[in-house]
Amino acid sequence: MKKFLLSFVTMAVVLTGCGGGGSEPTSSEPASEPQNDAEPITEEEVTLDSSVEIDFWHAMSGGHEESLQAIVEEFNANSEFITVKAVNQGSYDDLQQKIMAAAKAKGLPAISQVTTNVVPEYIANDFITSLDSYMNHETYGMTEEEITDIVDIFKESSTWDGTMYSIPFSKSTRILYYNSGMLEEHSLDVPKTWEDIRTIAETVTKDGVVGMGFENSFEMEFESILRQMGGEYVDEAGLEAKFASEKGIAALQLIKEMVDEGIARTAGEDGYMSNPFGRGDVAMYIGSSAGIPHVRGAAEGNIEWSATVLPTYNGVAATPFAGNDIVMYNQSSEEEQLAAWEFMKYLISTDVTAQWAQESGYLPVRYSAMELDSYRAFIEEFPEHGAGEQQFDAGYFSARVAGGNAVRNIILEELENIMLDRKTVEEGLQFAEDQANDALKK
């Protein structure tokens, strides 16, 4: 099955909504002297009584960009003074590089989309604004009820040392896609455990069909299984990688053994697993919930399919939540920052986050959005979209540390070496852990 194991390093682009990866961050040392040109809002009134235009940098493309642009246009049409200009900056790698360059040149936009793993770099370089003073402002803030309405796991992932530096926006989780027609043909139930996954994969793998699939960059699945086994991946507080433990070895062996036996495969030259899954070449695979529109397009006219929660290990569930947030930069004027905050609130309003979830495949970031009659009707019609919200109680987010992208690249390279038998699981993970800890100390 090695023909499917295309280089993880070259294929490990940042998936829209997966939130892992991106360009390697710069040193956590400040890029220059602190650049806080405008203080966060205070109770002293800042008013918007004249036209203000702000730039919003993002990395959405295709249908996602079209949906986002429609939201921006709706906001602009209903705002008396604020005009938001959405600017596509390419991939997440491109966006990250342009943000770092703009920070040094003091040319940052008012706000941008970011993956949460880069926020520690921005805090260290002192060019983003804490949102606490905005959220709690008497006039422009959010009520306690509104703040509580933000999904807990998302709110937690947007908070550093008790301070909220971002708001959740395009949030996703991993879900299990499955070929319902194939399972029915073999009288198989929807899998609930990793043991079920193996049994189904062994049963259906034949005649060009492979039972289980993984994306080329499957480090999120590795971490999920490791956590289900009771292990630790990276200690955020202690800045220490710990994935080369006995449990880490067992977690990766679970994946590698299925691939070696031919009952599982990676996306390989297909790029993303939605393509072979949609063709009917793979019976199941784990991927981002934000990939639902892609799966739907690939599967149309080919297979019957659905999605469910991730399989458990010995009854333990652990589900990664990723995606991206919105941050505000401190190089804008007070009026521009206030305008940015008003737009940020709009992005996570109940109706808008529900609309965005239905059109994009991302998850609503407000509990109230999931209770809307229109959203419940949507889930009833498209139940695959409901798998993500069923996993909130089992949710976690990967350690958000300075050097996190470097650690991810190290892990991806060693996963490739392990899967191609250049190194044993033990050798590859120990090397990756040692290199990761060196990177975390810089």
Q: What is the pLDDT of residues 383-412, one digit of tens each?
A: 999 999 999 999 998 888 888 888 999 999
State mean pLDDT over 427-439. Answer: 97
State mean pLDDT over 99-113. Answer: 96
- The string of pLDDT tens digits covering residues 1-47 is 433 443 333 333 333 334 433 333 333 333 333 334 445 555 456 66
Q: Is 270 a residue whose pLDDT tops 60?
A: yes
**What is the Cα–Cα distance from 274 to 200, expressed in whole angstroms?**
19
Kindly compute the dihedral angle of the four CA atoms of residues 35, 37, 40, 41, in this order, to the nearest 10 degrees. 180
Domains of the chain: 52-171+322-389 (3.40.190.10), 174-321+398-441 (3.40.190.10)
φ, ψ (nearest 5 deg) of residue 418: -70, -45
**What average pLDDT is seen over the chain?**
89
pLDDT of residue 47: 66
- The string of pLDDT tens digits covering residues 320-353 is 998 899 999 999 999 999 999 999 999 999 999 9
pLDDT of residue 48: 67
Q: Of all residues in the chain, what percent carry a pLDDT higher than 90?
A: 80
**Residue 116 — pLDDT band, cuts 50, 70, 90?**
confident
Residues 6+ apart with CB under 8 A from 243: 222, 223, 226, 231, 232, 233, 234, 411, 429, 432, 433
Task: Provide the 10 A C-beta neighbour count for residue 258.
Answer: 23
Separation of CA 413 from chain center: 20
**For residues 31 and 125, is the Cβ–Cβ distance under 8 A?**
yes
Q: What is the pTM of this model?
A: 0.85
Does an H or E element contain 172, and which? Answer: strand 167-179
pLDDT of residue 1: 42
